[in-house]
Chain A
Amino acid sequence: MTTLIVILCYLLLLLSLGFFSNRLFRGTSKDYFVASHSIGPFLLLMSVFGTTMTAFALVGSTGKSFERGIGTYGLMASISGLVHAAIFFLIGIRLWAFGKKYGYITQIQFFRARFESNGLGYLLFPILVLLVVPYLLIGIIGAGKVIEPVTAGAFPLLFTDPSAPPWLGGIPPWLTGLVVSLVVLTYVFMGGSRGAAYANTLQTIVFMIMGLVAFVFIIDGLGGLEKAGKVPIRVNESGLVVQDFKFDKEKGQLLENETPKVVGKVLDSANANLTDQQPHFWREPTTVAFKKKNPKTGELIPFERELGFPFLTFVTYLFIPLSVGMFPHLFQHWLTAKSAKSFKLTVIAHPLCIMIVWVPCVLVGAWASGVLPPGIPPPAVLSAMLNLLVGDPVLTGLLTAGVLAAIMSSLDSQFLCLGTIFTNDIVVHRAGQNKFTDKQIILIARVFIVVIVALTYALAMLAKDANVFDLAIWCFSGFSALFPVVFAALYWKRATKQGAVASILAAVVTWMYYFHLSGYGGEYFVGPGIVPAAICFGASSVALIVVSLFTSPPSTKTLGKFFPEIDSTS
């Protein structure tokens, strides 16, 4: 109950920040959508980082490391440090410059002007919405998964149908999702992009500090760093997978099992030297058979899991972080920057921030394999570790608030950006700029945001058991497949509207094909381990180049506008 009160206090703090940012709101649509280009380096770093790190970073990375081991970091985090920073440098600053000079608020406005096509905007709008929605879903699903275990036992008579038996009486995911959606909706509704930037900054600071505090307490619970390194599951001389330790909650300490507890068996491994190795600490693929308990019947069900990653999967994952170049919500954050110099801190510090957040999460996920049952849902691993190892309810509440902060710092930008593109690219674009007053434009955006929040919430309840990491990867894959369009728009004069349309269609068709094959959101690889994003990206690039070369180039006027003399010096 104490944990819940701490979490509620944090949510109230966020609401008050929404009221505060509403007082600073200048009442114009430009202020609502891009904070009047007034955001400095620190706020930009915090809002961009907070936006790119969501449930995926904390809940998803811990869960993925629990499933597959420490390769999760190289797979997504370290390559993101390189690719994201390069995109901020090559794409972000350039888009900011065009946005500021020509008054763009959305990506679609830029593409319409660059490719001299209104239709391109109508084609792109539903695709961007379609791809942002899974990103929103992972936030709401992730929040639900985190809160239920840490509030277990708080309301045993009220919430009698938990996701897993030990979480009886915990706040159910539907209620957490509803509260989180309403809190984010309130401060975005009131403060717009300025409110989102302030809230993101607070939330990013909170989740980074709380993440480190959680890490320290988890290490303490495991008996120190060196002992923690011995905790993950181990392969014994018979090829059985064993847990050497258990956490005694009454004594509050990690104890060595008298005889190692067998939890699985190695079926196949490319690594010849398995004995006494901890498979979570290497990356060579190893297939293990585990068993998990059916929460309803108590029956043990066998399942297989591949630890590690095929090398080809690791290499082709580099296409996934390209997605940030096409995130519409990130475009909007870039446009809030006061000057190009505001980007400098983000370019340098973004990889460091990723490291600070991801290294502890990946370690905790690997360590968790040694003290949690292997069948636990991956998104619940982080909160289960907090619940097991950090006994203090106030601290658990603060740490959980940190996880919620990471989730909400992305939800707000995504809700806002959908409201922004609907209002500007569909409603105002069709009706004409002078048809609505500024107040009416803000009202339209707010109404659309409310509708999107309601729809997203309903979808999240339908997809509540989805794997947060895998769903996020599908969302990122779609945006990565669209990356050639933005890159060519900025750097290739010969890119034409027909080329852009062909590229978008190729991206969508290949993405939908593989999404269907994955069972709509599951983990899926092509052939020996190629991520679908690599193929979607290739198809989209080829379509763009071939069709552009066979169609008429853009007008001289447009080329002069988007390829001025700056090219020779920048």
Chain B
Amino acid sequence: MGKLLVWSLFVLMFFLHQDFWWWEESYLVLGFLPIGLAYHAGFSLACSVLGWLAIQYAWPEELEKFADSDDKSSHP
């Protein structure tokens, strides 16, 4: 369930990245930050939160065990 949530959010983020709704807007947020740039700076913060969620709910624990296991029978 956690993994599904993380990967669903990941796909959603791709759509949210295409902010055509502010394409022609140039007004400034807080008097200095153009809205298009402010939105994408917020998007970067959201990517960081998504990374945290991925680590919490979709971390590949078994990969680490696999890498550290002694079985190297199939060494190249």
How far is A520 from B45 in the complex, measured between Cα atoms in Å? 36
Do residues B67 and A348 form an inter-chain contact, with CB atoms below 8 A? no
User: Is the Cβ of A564 less than 8 Å from the Cβ of B66?
Assistant: yes
Known A97-B67, A284-B23: A359·B37 in contact at CB below 8 Å: yes
Residues of A within 8 A of B24 (CB): 270-271, 273, 282-284
The answer for the CA separation of A278 and B39 in the assembled complex, in Å, is 18
Among A277, A314, A355, A564, the residue within 8 A (CB) of B41 is A355
A354 to B63, CA, bound (A): 28
Complex interface bits, A244-278 against B, C-beta within 8 A gives 1, otherwise 0: 00000000000000000000000000110100011
**Contact of A281 with B34 in the complex, beta carbons under 8 Å:** yes
A347-383 interface with B by 8 A CB criterion: 347-352, 354-355, 359, 362-363, 366
* Interface hit among A51-59, A78-86, A178-186: A78-86
Interface residues of A in 304-326 (CB under 8 A from B): 311, 314-315, 318
CB distance from B52 to the nearest CB of A (A): 5
Does B10 contact A86, Cβ atoms closer than 8 Å?
A: yes
Q: Assess whether A82 is in contact with B17, with CB atoms less than 8 Å apart.
A: yes
Please tell me which one of the listed residues B28, B37, B52, B58 contacts residue A348 in the complex, with CB atoms under 8 A apart.
B52
20 contacts between A and B (CB under 8 A): A73-B36, A74-B17, A74-B36, A78-B47, A85-B47, A97-B64, A112-B76, A225-B31, A281-B36, A282-B26, A282-B36, A283-B36, A311-B23, A318-B17, A344-B55, A352-B44, A352-B45, A354-B44, A566-B60, A570-B62
Distance from B22 Cβ to chain A, minimum over Cβ atoms (Å) = 8
Chain B residues positioned under 8 Å from A344 (CB to CB): 55, 59
Tell me whether A561 and B74 are in contact (CB under 8 A): yes
Query: Is there an interface contact between B48 and A351, defined as CB atoms closer than 8 Å?
Result: yes
Q: Does A226 reach chain B (CB closer than 8 Å)?
A: yes
Supposing A282-B36, A351-B44, A561-B74 touch, asked if A97 and B54 sit within 8 A by C-beta, the answer is no
Kindly identify which residue among A70, A348, A560 contacts B36, using a CB–CB cutoff of 8 Å: A70
Contact B17 A229 (CB under 8 A): no
Cross-chain contact of B14 among A96, A284, A318, A560 (Cβ < 8 A) = A318
| SS of A interface (majority) | helix
**For residue B69, which residues in chain A have a CB less than 8 angstroms away from its CB?**
101
Which one of B13, B61, B72 lies within 8 Å of A82 (CB-CB)?
B13
Cβ contacts under 8 Å, A315 to chain B: 18
Residues of B within 8 A of A561 (CB): 74
A205 sits at the interface (CB 8 A): no
Enumerate chain B residues within 8 angstroms of A81, measured Cβ to Cβ: 43-44, 47-48
Q: Are the C-beta atoms of A347 and B55 separated by less than 8 Å?
A: yes
* Contact with A71, one of B18, B36, B45, B67 (Cβ below 8 angstroms): B36
